[in-house]
A and B are shown apart, each in its own frame.
Chain A
Amino acid sequence: NAGVTQTPKFQVLKTGQSMTLQCAQDMNHNSMYWYRQDPGMGLRLIYYSASEGTTDKGEVPNGYNVSRLNKREFSLRLESAAPSQTSVYFCASSARQGVGEQYFGPGTRLTVT
């Protein structure tokens, strides 16, 4: 039982490049989330998917897109990376959106130069 997994663990991009962060969970959870964590800012929600087939914007969605591929997988895409997107990205899942605890993956450390 791996919980929440994320790939890659580290990534360096040049400004303007694109990439997709992958996330998968094996807990049969309905809801999945993408956060970013910056020094002094705490965790901020980028996008979430309350259930398979739905996605919604969180607090800081600009510059990102998401896809809920199936119940297990939720990806985050940066179409044209900017230095302001340098951050650590965490994926999380919960049994239901708005109820109960969320479980987090190990994170992806992204640097945009």
Chain B
Amino acid sequence: EDQVTQSPEALRLQEGESSSLNCSYTVSGLRGLFWYRQDPGKGPEFLFTLYSAGEEKEKERLKATLTKKESFLHITAPKPEDSATYLCAVHPSGGSQGNLIFGKGTKLSVKP
């Protein structure tokens, strides 16, 4: 069964304290892995797409990486405005009708 697991469920950081969020996946084949940011009361906002192991994408303080079994979202010197829930999703190449499978998210809080 295709599955996406995110850890930790919640993460509290001090401003400037770098860390990483994990997304591990079990799928029959991977068409793509996606990271989203979701603020309270809002819809998910697209951040990155990764397609193959070894690929990396960066945007401001965020850097996403991909291996054959997991993806990391590295947050360097976070600021309070980075506080949000970060969602990971995968597109399996087989089964699930090719639709996205989402993890439950990591809620990040950055304190000043």
- We find that the number of chain A residues with CB closer than 8 angstroms to chain B is 24
Asked if B49 and A107 make an inter-chain contact with CB atoms under 8 angstroms apart, the answer reads: no
Interface: B75 (CB within 8 A): no
**CA A104 to CA B39, docked complex, whole Å:** 12
Residue picked from A97, A99, A102, A107, most chain B C-beta under 10 Å: A102
Among candidates B31, B100, B103, residue contacting A45 with C-beta atoms closer than 8 Å: B100
- Quick one: given A104-B44, A104-B45, are A42 and B99 in contact (CB under 8 Å)? no
Are A56 and B97 touching (Cβ within 8 A)?
A: yes
Contact A106 B43 (CB under 8 A): yes
The reply to whether A42 and B105 form a contact with Cβ atoms under 8 Å apart is yes
**Minimum Cβ distance to chain B for residue A70 (Å):** 22
Rounded to whole Å, the gap between the CB of A76 and the closest CB of chain B is 15
B-contacting residues, A72-90, CB 8 Å:
90
- Residue interface mask B81-112, A partner, CB < 8 A = 1: 00000010101000001111011110000000
Please name 17 pairs of A and B residues whose Cβ atoms are closer than 8 Å in the assembled complex, sorted by A.
A4-B43, A42-B87, A42-B103, A42-B104, A43-B102, A45-B100, A56-B97, A58-B99, A98-B91, A98-B99, A99-B32, A100-B32, A102-B46, A104-B44, A104-B46, A106-B42, A107-B41
Question: Other than the known A45-B100, A100-B32, what 18 A-B pairs have Cβ atoms closer than 8 Å?
Answer: A4-B43, A33-B99, A40-B104, A42-B102, A43-B100, A56-B97, A98-B98, A98-B99, A99-B32, A99-B91, A101-B49, A104-B43, A104-B44, A105-B43, A106-B42, A106-B43, A107-B41, A107-B43
5 nearest A-B residue pairs (beta carbon): A98-B98, A104-B43, A42-B104, A43-B102, A42-B102
